[in-house]
Amino acid sequence: MKAVNSVNLKNVDDFVKHHLLTGQNARTDAFRGLNIIDKIQGHESTVTSSKMIDEWLPLVLIDISNLKAFLLGIFHGVMGKHLQ
């Protein structure tokens, strides 16, 4: 994983070349900045309906909360240099 300042052709191209095999299909949300993947690789973008978001977003928040508890309990916190 890598933090970038912006989603642009160069950053997406670098990511795809380093993390996806040739011919591998990428599945993303419908963020327009990722549509350039079509030019590099197979790409399927999906818009999530608001009903689906209402179903799974609370689960994502629970997962984040569980991760925080795990990091604080097991490792007694994580230094900022290890987080993005």
CB atoms within 10 A of CB 12: 21
pTM recorded for the entire structure: 0.55
Q: What percent of the chain has pLDDT over 70?
A: 96
Q: 30: which 2 tokens? A: 């419908």
Task: Examine the pLDDT at 1 and tell me if it is beyond 70.
Answer: no
Residue 70: the pLDDT is 86
Task: Examine the pLDDT at 3 and tell me if it is beyond 70.
Answer: yes
SS3 52: helix
Q: 40: which 2 tokens? A: 């590099």
For the stretch 15-54, pLDDT in tens is: 888 888 888 889 988 888 888 888 888 899 988 888 888 8
Paired strand residues for 28: 45
